[in-house]
Structure formats: structure tokens, C-alpha cells
Structure 1
Amino acid sequence: MTVQQRAQSRCHWLPELERHSGPLYKALVDQLALDIADGNLKPGDRLPPQRLLADALQVTVGTITRAYREAERRGLLEAKIGSGTRVRAQQTEAPGFRHLSAAGQDSIDLSLSTPIETPLRQQQLSALMERLAGRPDVVEAALHYQPEQGNSAQRSSLARWLSAQGLPMAADELILTEGGQHADFLALQVLVRPGEAVASDALTYPGMIAAARQLGLKHLPVPMDGEGMRPDALERLCQQQRIRLLYLMPEHNNPTGAQMSQARREAIVEIARRYDLLLLEDGVQYVAPEHRGQAFYQLAPERALYIFSVSKILAGGLRFGALRAPASLITQLSAGLRAQCWASSSLPGAIACEWLASGMAETLIDWQWQELAARQQLMRECLQGYELHYHPCGLHAWMALPAPWRAGDFVQRAAERGVTLIGAEPFCVGSQPAPQAVRICLTPPPTRDQLRVALERLRELLHEGPPLKALLV
């Protein structure tokens, strides 16, 4: 038996390359896509190792490597260290990541980063609606079509409020959006072409991962340390790859809670200028001014964009946010938004801007900081002795699991105890292995008592350790 025959006998999938014209690697990808569409290959199916498939097809290993990389870029495959290259489930979001919680009716949800429930929010909103009803000029303006950048009065109002919070910016630098995720998607869609590369922390916001995947972008991970993204690792990546945009959460990485020092920010700006990177800073995880560093748009105004949203401080249902951008990009971004939805809805913006300008927002935000501090203290008491990472203004914490726990098993066992969590997998960029850690959101439970119950269940589970069958898998 020849080497080729032996290799073919061991391959459970062999593409019919003669059916396709053009370069061999593209023919292989095209056949892969057809076999997935026809159901011959199913999500989770493992592809032959590259050397084995090369021998079976009598092509170079480089051809197979190039084909697998192209298929991964198209979203057909995913490669994970230790599990090989597999057919990707046809989804546009990160594995295990959901917009709304999958918590059961009787489960305590610690999976979503949301504002803390309080009657104060509803009371303030009712009062605001009454105030707006008495201002026919504002209501009338909200009923009309708006310019692409958004209502000019609302942009001015938001710029004043952000400037008072230590984020100085002008109204003409802002584009109003339907929340932070919309701003993220808009920036990627307009500024990065399909097939180009973006980079982020190796652990990052799943919405960014989903947006990059949906848009067909190459998403590269940058290794992290206690301050988040490492400049030396970014430098090496820029030497190897052409990166168009760098996505950053310098105040409060989601999920790890890491915060960058001033020196770290300046080092990243220097690299961005040398390699001509755009910088997209996500400020949706709002941080109080006294805990905040210098925004990237203040350090590099010519290349940095900034995302703001009221989702974490007022109400997620308002769907009101903004994208701050350099003047050189405003026209391009505005045209992109016009193509998507013409302009953001003006009525939620009227409510949000009135809320911020009225002074009521400060009362609500201050209450949330106080309640959050109490919940973080409760977490420290219940999970004392375990490795917890969190920001003073963070709505969640990142817990490294003690050996021999694995994140998937812990999440499953917690669900059986009536606690819904998210493991590390949805936050992982690229093919790197997920750390054995979970994100614990402190804000969804309506009361501290309910949070305590959930945390005590987690503590009991940690003390017990994983079941024997989990260790044997």
C-alpha cells in the first residue's frame, strides 16, 4: 500500500478537487463549503490533520494549511488547541454567549452584566416622561427624520454631560447610535474591509467577537497580563500581521476586570502610530471619573474612536449610545449609518439626554455605585480564599477556578444548583485554549439576599470539587 493509499484510508473526509477550478487551496475550501451545506460534514466534525490530508491528496502541507486558514476566516472551521480543526456551528455569536440569559425560572442569574434593579429607575423614568410631555418642542423634534449623525440638540447635550464626567468632547465629534453594540458594529463595518484583520485582548467582549465574525473579519488575539493587553505582544503581532483596527477596553476589561496604567496606554498609542492602527475604545462598562484613566481619544485624537452607552447606568432598553470619532472619519461613518438605518431613533435619545441633563441620573448612578460596593463586599465574604479579579466599578467579577475544576463542568454543575454563569469560552478570541475561569455578574439578582444564596451555592460547589466522572473525561 502506498503512502497516499494509507493516508486516504485514514481520512474520513476527502474533497473532490477536480470539481473545482482555480488554485488548489480555494478548490478545497469550496468543496468544504459544499459538503457542509449538503450535510456531509456537520458542526463539530473533526477534519483530517493537515499532514495526513496532504499525503492523501498528494499536495503540499502548505496548501492544506492555507485552505484551513481561509475556511476559518470564512467561518466554516474553528481550530482549538488540543481538539484539532472542526466544522464550526453556523452561528454569528460566540459559543455560549446569548443576548438574554438562558437562566431557568427557578435559577438565580449571574450571567448578565445589567444595571441593578431598583424602583428608583422606574420612578425617574415616569417623572421624565411627564416632563417631556410638557415640552412639545422636544416631542415635535423627536417625531421628525434626523440627520445621520443624530439630533444636534441631543449631541450637544450628551457632549456637555460627558465633558462634565471628565470625557471632554464636542457635539460635532459624536454620531448617535442604537446603543454600544451598534456603535461597535458600525465602526467595524465602515472602517475594516472583509478579510482584513482586527485585534483585541485575547479575552474580550463576546459582542465584538460576534460582530467581527459576522463581517468576515480576521480577529487576532493579543496576550494579556494583569493590566490587560501587553504592548510587547502587540508589537510582535504587528510585525507579523497587517492590522487595521485595535479594539480596547482599557478601564475595565470584560471579562477579567483588568485596567491599564497610563504608561501602558501611552505604549499602545506609540505602537498604533508606528503601525497606523485605528483604536476603538469601548467605554460601555462605565467607570466613575475618580477611577478612570485617560481615554485613548485624548492621547491619540487623530486615530481613536470612543464608544459610550447608557445601558449600564440608566437602562439597557433605551438603546441609546454614541460613537466619538476623528473629524476625518465622521463623513464615512455617517454614510455607513445612513445605509444601515438612516439615523438613530430620536425619542430614546430625547429621554436619555433629558435624564442625564436633569441631574436625576447622578442620583441613580451614585445609588448603583453604593449598592455595587455592598455586593462586591458580599462576594468577598462568600468566596473568601478564591482568586477573584474585579474593578471597583465592575458589574461582574472574574474567578479563576481551583484545580481540578474545569469551567464547562463548573458552569453545568452550578446550573444544576440553580445558578446561571458564563464560562471563559465565549470571551476567547481565535483558537487559543480557554482558561479555567468563570464570570460572576453581581447585578442581575434583585436583592442582596438572592445574591447571597447564589454565592453560597457556588462556595459549596467549590468546596465539594468536581465529581469523579468529570475528572475521568
Structure 2
Amino acid sequence: MTIWKPELPAGVTRYRALADAIAAAVASGELEPGQRLPPQRRLADTLGVTVGTITRGYDEAERRGLLEARVGSGTYVKDRRASAPGFRHVSVEPSATAGELIDLSLSLPPPHPQRPAGLGEVLAALADDPSALQAAVDYQSEHGTPAHRRALADWLTRLGLPMVADELTITLGGQHAIFLALQALTQPGERIAAAALTYPGAIAAAQQCHLKLQRIPLDDQGLDVEALARLCQQQPPRLVYLTPEQNNPTGAQLSEARRERLVELARRYDFWLIEDGVQYLPPEARGRPLYLRAPERTLYLFSTSKVIAGGLRIGLLRAPPTLQERLASAQRAQSWMVPPLMVEVVCRWIDSGAAERLLGWQLDEIAARQRLARQRLAAFAPSGQPHGFHLWLELPNGWRAAALIEQLERQGVRVTSAEPFCVGSEPAPQAIRLCVSAAADRETLERALKIIADTLAAPPASPWRTL
């Protein structure tokens, strides 16, 4: 293959000239989405510049959203039509047809006929309620109507998460809640911290807000709070984002001792806590929430997406009274309000009792799927929460995540590597996340697990292709 060789005009800083050349080549189609750029040293030799110049040029093009660096693979032209900034992924063309593919890559609630049926019942009841229809077409408060906030606060309280209605802002799902929280608390250029592996949506939101995301080590007890303490001695972050009940992707749960220490640090160094509780666990399986330990500096996120239906896009953001006006301003700037029709649908679903029945079934179903997955993959020591949607699997020696993912996809199973979850520039661990919740049923999940187990049990193909 002929190496791409740009022209670098005189009179322009060399690395900026390279970034401009990449932009022009992408715009003209000379460089296509997904195309790998030349290795930095090779291009440096071709152009007669230093490797550092090429590195800075690639970094500048990546900052502009033109390129993406994949750990251990190289630098590629970014397909901006296919992914939003921050949601990094390994793109693989499946060999299996869409009907044959078992997709365990997305954290979705298990399918149940009551989800579409329940929506139909609620909509039919709404159609016969003129007052509800009138409210649905009127403008509402940025935080949501008082009646909706009370209904949602009461529901969360029944689920073991005590809430005060006046402290809630209704959002367009959990992702929107993260973005609102960052907008209310931060200014561009400020530093925030998160676990070394964390939810890609939080990484994307931080990038959109132009924040500097700092990596905190992670182990089987969750975020390494003592590493955070050492960071605070140098320069405390503006806030810490975390999922204390089950880290996404590893499933690690923050210990009670670390929760106490985290709150102590937050008060000593005056930083905020964003506690993401979207991945719901029953009360007996979770610790004491951070927002009950430090209500004055904790924002708590919840969403109905993992419990009722993701398409309704209804979430909640609990915040102390001091932040309510800032959150209202951010909501007005983005969407003015959440559509009251969708909130009314969710509240009626909850009031009927159907939401809690669905949640009860879901918890039992997930527990059964987790037991099945742990049994089938016992030889590879997967980790995760017994009621969690996903499992984390560190690969046996010799396996590379990218090669395994490609091989599984050819056999009709899709899983996720660690790469999209990585904070900072550290190499991604050789591991995969698989979502037991996403399969159509237990039989489908069992087929996928057998393929994964059989593949891992066989020796990996040699990576050597030449001398």
C-alpha cells in the first residue's frame, strides 16, 4: 500500500500544517473513515521531520475530532457519522447475519412483553383523560411538575432510595443528568476525576464540556480512594464521578470504608460527588448511598431506562437546594423542560404497580442469568454483581481483546472490549465486558456463553505474521 504523503506548506508550524493537511484530506475523501494513518516514525522519515512533530500533528487532528487513536492498533480516521465524541469503540464487520448475531455488547434491560404492552395500556388510558392531554401540551417547570416530582420521589423511596421531591430535577435519561450536573458544577478547562475504567457516557460528557478528566486507579473494592487523596494533595479535582454500587464495566462495588473516606476527602478538599445509580441493585445488594452521607455535596442520578423502558428517556437528578437554580438554567438552555407526556406515562406506569412488578421479574431474571453465566464461564473467573446487567472477564494469557472480539463476532456473538471505558492514555486491559441482560432469553444467552467458553478454551492464534 502506498503511504499517504501530505504536502506541508512553508510558513506554518509543521504540526499544525500536518493537522490542516489531514483535515483537507478527510474533507476531500482522500482519507476515508476508518482508514489507518501511517505509523508516526514512518511518516516522519517520509516527510523529513521529527517523530514529535508527527505526534503533535496527530494529537491536534484528534482534538479537532478528525482522528482516533486505538491502543495497540494505531491512529485512524474517525467516522463522525457513526459515533459521538468520547464513545470510542472497536469497529468490526460481523460475519453473522443480523438475525444470527447475539449482541451482548449493550447494557439493556432483558426483553419482556410487558414493556410494549404496558406502554400501550398507559397511552390508551391517557387518550381518555382530557386534563392529562391538556397538561401534556403545555409548558412546564424546568424541574418538572410538582405532582410528577412527588410521584417519582415516592417511588424511589419505596425502592429504598429516600428522596425529597423539591430536590429532584426530571431529565431526559441518565446521560442527560450527567451532562446537566457537569454544566451546573464546572467551567471549561477544570479538572474532574473518575475511575480508570468508567462509563463511556461520562467520558463523552466531560469531553463535550471541555473538562480535563483525571484517572484514578480501580480495584475489586472500587475506586482507590487513597490514590484520590494523593491527587488532592497536589491539586483537588472540581468533582469526582463514580458508580459506587457497580463500576461499569468491572462491577466492582465501593466498600463502606472507602465511602466514608471519600466523603471525608470531599469535605476536606471541597469537591463535589456525582453518584451514578442508573444501574439499579436491590437494597440488600448495595451499600449506603453517598447522597445520604454527604447530601450537601452529592448529586445522585437515576433513570427509568434500565427498569421500565429506555425509549421513554426519563431520568432524575437529585441535588442539594443550593444547586437548584443552576440546574434550572442549564435545563432551560438545553431543552427548556422534559416533555411532560413522557413523564406522565412513566408516573402512570408506576402508579399502576406494573413498574414494580416488572422490576421484581427483572431482578429474578438477571440473577438467574448471572448464575448461568458464572457456571458456564467459571474456568475464567468472571466478576460482577449478582443482580448486575454485565460481567467482566479478564482474558487468559496469550489472548488479546481485539482478536477475541473479532473471532467471537465471526461466530455470531458480540461483546465489548475495555477500550471504550478507559480514562486517560493508559493501555486498556486485556478484558471484555459481556451483558447477560441483553440476550433475548436464557436459551440464547446459553448459546452465546458456550461459544465464548469454547473459544477461550482453545489456544489463541499466533499474532506473528512475519519475521
CA deviations 1:304-356 (Å, max 9, x no partner) are 10111001110101100011112111111111111111111111111111222
Q: Does 1:123 align with 2:117?
A: yes
In the alignment, what sits opposite 1:316? 310
Q: Which of 369, 373, 376 is the aligned partner of 1:379?
A: 373
TM-score, structure 1 normalization: 0.85
Q: Distance in 2 between matches of 1:222 and 1:139?
A: 48
In the other structure, the counterpart of 1:368 is 362
Q: Counterpart in 1 of 2:346?
A: 352
Of 388, 392, 405, the match for 1:411: 405
Residue of structure 2 equivalent to 1:422: 416
Q: Deviations over 1:231-265 (max 9, x none)?
A: 11112223344521211100011110111111111
Q: Which residue of 2 aligns with 1:37?
A: 23
- Structure 1 range deviating more: 153-162 or 207-216: 207-216
Shift of 1:399: 0.8
Task: Return closer, same or farther for 1:88/1:222 CA change in 2, 3 Å cut-off.
Answer: farther
Equivalence for 1:281: 275
Q: Distance in 2 between matches of 1:13 and 1:232?
A: 47
Aligned in 2, Cα 1:33/1:245: closer, same or farther, shift over 3 Å? farther
The question of 1:189 aligning with 2:175 is answered no
Q: Is the 8 A contact 1:409 1:470 kept in 2?
A: no
Q: What residue ranges of structure 2 are gaps of 5+ in the alignment?
A: none
Equivalence for 1:95: 88
SS of the equivalent of 2:144 reads: coil
Pairwise mapping of residues 301-340 of structure 1 onto structure 2 (< 5 A)?
301-340=295-334
SS at match of 2:448: helix
Q: Counterpart amino acid of 2:438?
A: P
Coordinate RMSD, CA, aligned: 3.3
Distance 2:151 2:307 in 1: 17
Counterpart amino acid of 2:461?
A: P
Change over 3 Å in CA distance of 1:394–1:431 after alignment to 2: same
Contact 1:251 1:258 (C-alpha < 8 Å) held by counterparts: yes
Cα contact 1:132–1:138 (8 A) shared by 2: yes
Instruction: Give the whole-Å Cα distance in 1 for the aligned partners of 2:61 and 2:264.
Output: 34
Distance 1:465 1:136, change over 3 A: farther
Most deviating of 31-40 and 112-121: 31-40
* Shift of residue 193, structure 1, vs aligned partner: 1.9
1:150–1:118 Cα change, 3 Å? same
In the alignment, does 2:130 pair up with 1:136?
yes
- SS of the aligned residue for 2:382 comes to strand
Q: Which residue of 1 aligns with 2:429?
A: 435
* Deviation >6 Å, runs of 4+: 12-17, 40-43, 63-74, 76-84, 470-473
Residue 454 of structure 1: how far off its partner (Å) = 0.7
Cα shift at 1:229: 0.7
Aligned mates of 1:108, 1:462 — CA distance in 2: 17
Taking structure 2 as the reference length, what is the TM-score of the superposition? 0.86
Relative to 1, partners in 2 of residues 1:77 and 1:29: Cα closer, same or farther, differing over 3 Å? farther
Distance in 1 (alpha carbons) for counterparts of 2:125 and 2:464:
58
Within 5 Å, give how 1:103-118 maps onto structure 2: 104-118=98-112
**Contact 2:15-2:54 at 8 Å conserved across structures:** no
Whichever residue aligns with residue 211 of structure 1, its letter is: A
Structure 2 residue 145 is matched with structure 1 residue 159: no
Cα distance change of structure 1 residues 236 and 405 upon mapping to structure 2, 3 Å threshold: same
